[in-house]
Structure 1
């Protein structure tokens, strides 16, 4: 309908517009558009008159069983089941839902970027989920996608880990508990540093800074500690990422870029883009971009900062990858920093589209019913613990059924991930065990169950006929109409990098199928073979959509539930 409307509007008014199509309440029709109201001012006519002209042309196509006008100029149309089934068949392919919007373009997606030498925390759940979904959406819309896990393996934390290990730990403890010992040391050392600062002492702080400067100077002992901690951390990170079913092409961390960043800062100084303060620190003024606060790119003691390594990362990618777009999957708390960073890039003449894919926090529900950001004081904050707990709860949900351990893991991960995509990513999400495993509401298991159910029907009865000219598809009309909307959902979700649009669509498709099952037998009772095969053909397309859509979100379809 969108294509037909576009052609009609061009024919009538010589305007190129993309009309918005919606699904109104059933009593008004199958599809609706308010394009006449949008065009009225441009063409100098009453909206109702514009609607009449467009409606007349729509009737002439013969594609609609009814075209009516409501209110000031809303156009409502009805279609027959057979006509939209034929339309779906003409558009169908193994890659249905995908497009070439990004053809010839390259995008770098950066995620989940955890810090080294401490356990993978729930704080990096959303960067991994949202980053992976962005990757999948970009790939589904024709982009060449390169992914990078920008590891936090440099800066003050490294000095804290080395000084902390020597002060608070031992070889035996590190050998026994690995990354969890490093995490314990980091937290304990941060506490000691805070207490020291309150006393006006700098002994430990000086040790931390000394180790960092040693590492930057290539000191063999400092480099050896860094490599050892990194090996322990990477093994842990890779294990957790494997359980989350996410991966990246590269793992170029901050340590890789720090020397390049310092060299880049010197060039900024020489070119006059950056200035040096009296204390030796180096800043990039951004007044022309509306920032009163300059971006600090190097400390007074010469140490690198996030901005130093991020500057080097941008320049490195420009030189080696030449991306058209870079997506940073990082939380909302870094919005100001990234706006400064991107302004600096513009000041350097970089035209690449740098995009901060930000998102809200993960909230937890307290006993008194209030919400607060998930913290170490309450609930689970380690990713491995969260996954273990989710798998135990998934086993409880399917207890007594023939469900494999592999499927239990798919259900557990589906519940966790789908909860991240229920709402717009910019909102905080509420992590509630009772809600995310619900089989009757907006949840991953609800959608997975719908997919498992349709797959079971197809397994037992075959995939039927893709399209039958002799069948009217009246009972299937709403399901087919929903399936026809999938490519546009993917297009918009990718264009706006909003994966929740896919999640909401899949939930709606699951509900539509449940309504269909309640009213329509597929392969039981007195259903004829011809009708059965036509209906199975529609279900086969729904099965494809479930698998494809859930895959965009990094969720797998279990074989049993």
Structure 2
């Protein structure tokens, strides 16, 4: 493919016998793929109008088939657009290997079971998988993993509604078709969330059911829990594959993180954590985050303890990791700054290796989506809409084409910006 800097230098030398430090910049996409102000740099030493110089250089550039469009703007800026073929050829160039020999662990899927997977989850799934692809192209050994919350309050809310529907007869779940299970999980979670908000009696029961997710000593609960958890993971895996992601090699769940997380926190107190009234607190405000309770006064590990347990498990499974990456919404950015700071203090060999990338939110025109109210757009619905649009445009709406179109819509938005449907 054409090397634009070298080509510009040759053209300038041919036309004006001058040496210029040619710099390329990225203009607004509507003007092209790159731009240069080389003509303006030449104007003073040549004593010529920069626009005239730019036009002469542009005429020479137009002779290259790799360039589909060359234009001059303003006082003498040259804008260039690459041909589609040139862009395709650039992908075949031998990849860089800046990260050769480096080991990267990245969470490419963190949707929780017992909820429907919606397009907000899809954004993080696509972004994380794309980061993994780029790191692999750059020579790294990339390990894709996932992490899911299989215990806690959200499980209690779903189980409250599911157990009411089952009414002691687990076989009732058999009547729900496979293609309706995601919808079922979405509806029951919304019902449980609404009950927790509106009914003190239901809230007490939901708290009990949330605790039961940790022990699973009730036979009926355990049976329903395991069936619906398996449904959720089947749905998550199918959706992630449909989105075009490379499969994960290891799935972590929250129920396995509390024990190692709590043990490390207690071991690193008072060195890293402060104990107060039975609770273990990390002074995150000293590290650009906020003071956060990692173990509550009741003795249970909270989110911070679970995430520290997860970091330990990944470190054990991938002891030579050079980079460990998570991708989460902007609203969790400060929380993860605290978790990372605490983890680096507790496990010094991980210092500088833990990164969390904050994304924007996927919103409806009416505002933020909410699993609690059921106001979400499912991935299945979105795929169907893409298929309709592609078919109307005369295309063949295969899952691969739909996934490519959907991924492009997410990836064209700057990381950290919101996506509004």
Shorter-chain TM-score bucket reads 0.7 to 0.9
Cα gap change, 1:296/1:378 in structure 2, threshold over 3 Å: closer, same or farther? closer
Q: 1:155 aligns with which of 152, 156, 160?
A: 152
Corresponding residue number in structure 2 for 1:294: 291
Tell me how large the CA RMSD over aligned residues is.
4.2
Corresponding residue number in structure 2 for 1:495: none
2:406 is equivalent to residue 416 of structure 1: yes
Q: Secondary structure at the match of 2:111?
A: coil
C-alpha separation in 1, matches of 2:221 and 2:264: 24
Question: Following TM superposition, by how much is the alpha carbon of 1:259 offset from its aligned partner in structure 2, in angstroms?
Answer: 2.3
Corresponding residue number in structure 2 for 1:214: 215
Cα gap change, 1:353/1:167 in structure 2, threshold over 3 Å: closer, same or farther? same
Corresponding residue number in structure 1 for 2:11: none
State whether residues 103 and 142 of structure 2, in contact with CA within 8 Å, keep that contact through their aligned partners in structure 1. Answer: yes
Superposition map of 1:265-280 within 5 A: 265-269=265-269, 272-278=271-277, 280=278
2:417 is equivalent to residue 427 of structure 1: yes
C-alpha separation in 2, matches of 1:226 and 1:352: 39
C-alpha separation in 1, matches of 2:251 and 2:280: 28
C-alpha separation in 1, matches of 2:42 and 2:391: 58
Question: Following TM superposition, by how much is the alpha carbon of 1:133 offset from its aligned partner in structure 2, in angstroms?
Answer: 0.9
Corresponding residue number in structure 1 for 2:232: 233
Corresponding residue number in structure 2 for 1:175: 174
Q: Secondary structure at the match of 1:150?
A: strand
TM-score, normalising length: structure 1: 0.56
State whether residues 108 and 145 of structure 2, in contact with CA within 8 Å, keep that contact through their aligned partners in structure 1. Answer: yes
2:314 is equivalent to residue 324 of structure 1: no
C-alpha separation in 2, matches of 1:212 and 1:181: 19
C-alpha separation in 2, matches of 1:373 and 1:4: 48
Cα gap change, 1:295/1:380 in structure 2, threshold over 3 Å: closer, same or farther? closer
Superposition map of 1:215-364 within 5 A: 215=216, 224-246=223-245, 247-269=247-269, 272-278=271-277, 280-291=278-289, 293-321=290-318, 322-348=320-346, 349=348, 350-364=350-364
Corresponding residue number in structure 2 for 1:189: 192
Residues 227-236 or 174-183, more deviating: 174-183
State whether residues 146 and 250 of structure 2, in contact with CA within 8 Å, keep that contact through their aligned partners in structure 1. Answer: yes
Cα gap change, 1:294/1:219 in structure 2, threshold over 3 Å: closer, same or farther? farther
2:378 is equivalent to residue 382 of structure 1: yes
Q: Secondary structure at the match of 2:205?
A: helix
TM-score, normalising length: structure 2: 0.73
State whether residues 150 and 254 of structure 2, in contact with CA within 8 Å, keep that contact through their aligned partners in structure 1. Answer: yes
State whether residues 99 and 141 of structure 1, in contact with CA within 8 Å, keep that contact through their aligned partners in structure 2. Answer: yes
Question: Following TM superposition, by how much is the alpha carbon of 1:191 offset from its aligned partner in structure 2, in angstroms?
Answer: 1.7
Cα gap change, 1:70/1:338 in structure 2, threshold over 3 Å: closer, same or farther? farther
Corresponding residue number in structure 2 for 1:526: none
Runs of 5+ unmatched residues, structure 2: 8-20, 29-33, 67-84
C-alpha separation in 2, matches of 1:430 and 1:135: 25
C-alpha separation in 1, matches of 2:232 and 2:172: 15
Corresponding residue number in structure 2 for 1:393: 389
Q: Secondary structure at the match of 1:114?
A: coil
Runs of 5+ unmatched residues, structure 1: 6-17, 38-46, 56-67, 366-370, 432-561
C-alpha separation in 2, matches of 1:207 and 1:185: 17
C-alpha separation in 2, matches of 1:410 and 1:337: 36
Question: Following TM superposition, by how much is the alpha carbon of 1:360 offset from its aligned partner in structure 2, in angstroms?
Answer: 1.3
State whether residues 120 and 384 of structure 1, in contact with CA within 8 Å, keep that contact through their aligned partners in structure 2. Answer: no
